[in-house]
Amino acid sequence: MNKQKQFIKFFAGLPSERTREFELATTDFAGQYCDPESIRQMMALLDSKQENVAYGAFYTLCIIQRRNKNFSQMSQLLDQYEGRFASHPSIGHLRVLFLIESDSIYDYNDLLAQSHANSLALGTNAGYVHAFADTFASICEKCEPVERQEFIDKWYAKALDAVNKAIELDPKYAKYYCTKARIVMLKHQYAEAVHLVKRAITEEDASRKDYALRISGYQYYQMYIQMHQQVYLLEQRLTSATSQGIHGVPREIKDLPFSQEKAYAFVSYAHSDKELVTQMAQALTELDKNIWFDRKLTPGGDFWEELAERILGCNAVILFLSGSSVDSAFVRRELKYALNQEKPIIAVHLDDVKLSPGMQLQLDGHHKIFLKDYPSPEALAQAICQGLTTWGV
C-alpha cells in the first residue's frame, strides 16, 4: 500500500473529532509522519471529497506545524481552510492554540470566551477542556497585574473547574497537573502549586519522544512558581514597611520615570515573564538606572519603528532569558537587531533554559547573570546594576 492510500485509510477510520481518541490518534500520527514527503502527501488530501479524510489531514498538519513552532505555516493553513471546515466543532480549538502559542495579537477576553465555549461544547474530551484552562493560565502570565486581576475575578473559577474536570477525565495525563499549578499560584497557593508540578513530573510518561522536553517544561514552571513566591513575599515585606512609614518602596510601573536624554538600558523579554521583569525594572529604577521596555507600546504602524529606535539609542540591552523568551519571535528579532547594532548584552537567565547553538554563539562573550546564583530579587537587581554601570547606564 503506498503512503497516500495508507493516509486515506487512517483518516477515513478516525473516530469522531469530539472524542479524546481523535485527538490522541492524530497527535500520534503527526509524531510518526512529520517528514517533508508525508507533509506533502497530507497537503494533497486537503481537497479530498471525503470530508473526514480532508479534515483529518488538515488537523494533523496543524499539529505538526504547531509542534515544530512553525506558526507561519499553521497560520496559512488556518487562513486558507478555516472557512471550508467552519462546521467542525474542533476548528475553534486549533485557532485558540495558534493564537495563544504564536505571539499573535488578540483580544484576551474574546479568546477566553471562545476557548471556554469550546470546552463546554466538547466537554467530554479532556484535551479540549484543558485547553481553556491552559489558555487562562497563559493569558494571566502575559498581561499586566491590574488586567490579570480582572481576568482572575472573571475566569478563575471556570478555569479551575475546567482543569479539575480534565484531570477527572484523564488522571494520568501529567500536563494537566502542571496547568492546575499555574492556575492555583494566581491565588498565591504556592505550596500546592509546587506539589502539583512535582506530581506532573512523577506522572509523565517516560516513553514519550518528547519526555525530556516536557520534564524541562515542568522544571521551568517549578522555578517560575518559586520565583513568584519570592516576589510575593518581598511585596508583603514592602507593604509592611510602607505601613510603618519606611520609604523607598518601588513605584507602580506607570510611575517609573524614563528619560531619553540620559543613557538607558533596553529590556527584551517574553510577556509571560512580565511580572518578574517588572520587579527588576522597579528595583533598577530605585537604584537610579534609566530603564526602557515596551510596557506602554500598542502594536500598530509605529510599533517596530519605536522598538528599533529604542534599541538603536540604548547603551546596553538587558535580555531576560527563559523557556518562553527563547521561543518568542519578538525577543529573537530584538536580539538580532541589537547584535547587528553591536550593542552590549546582559543576558539574565531566569531559569535553566537550554539555548540553541545559534543563540549560544550569538551571546558568546556577552555578560551573563544567573538568577539561581542570587538569594533574592534585590540581589539580582544589584548584579544587573553592576553590569549596567560598566556600559555607562
Q: How far apart are CA 342 and CA 316, in angstroms?
A: 10
C-alpha cell at 380: 539580582
Instruction: Please check whether residue 119 is in contact with residue 131, taking contact to mean a CB–CB distance below 8 angstroms.
Output: yes
Q: What is the structure's pLDDT at 179?
A: 97
pLDDT at 237: 58
Q: What is the CA radius of gyration of the chain?
A: 23
Report the alpha-carbon distance of residue 373 to residue 115 in Å, rounded: 39
Phi, psi of 168 (to 5 degrees): -65, -40
pLDDT category at 312 given cuts 50, 70, 90 is very high
Nearest Cα to 111, choosing from 98, 126, 128?
Answer: 98
- pLDDT mean across residues, the chain: 86
Q: What is the mean pLDDT of residues 350-377?
A: 83
- What is the reported pLDDT for 296? 55
Structure confidence at residue 373 (pLDDT): 79
Structural domains in the chain, CATH included, are 3-228 (1.25.40.10), 255-390 (3.40.50.10140)
Q: What string of DSSP letters covers 297-345? A: --SSTTHHHHHHHHHHH-SEEEEEE-TTGGG-HHHHHHHHHHHHTT--E
Whether pLDDT at 309 is above 80: yes
CA atoms within 13 A on the CB side of 136: 33
Pull the grid cell for residue 12: 477515513
Of the candidates 269, 237, 275, the one whose C-alpha atom is nearest the C-alpha of residue 145 is: 275
Distance CA 143, CA 107 (A): 11
Q: Which of 351, 393, 378, 348 is nearest to 366 (CA)?
A: 348
Q: pLDDT tens for residues 171-230?
A: 999 999 999 999 999 999 999 999 999 999 999 999 988 899 899 999 999 988 988 887
Residues 316-357: tens digit of each pLDDT: 999 999 888 888 878 888 999 999 999 999 999 887 777 888
Which residue shows C-alpha cell 522555578? 223
Q: What's the rounded mean pLDDT across residues 127-131?
A: 92
The predicted structure's pLDDT at residue 250: 41
pLDDT(126) > 80: yes
Whether this prediction's pTM lies above 0.75 is answered by no
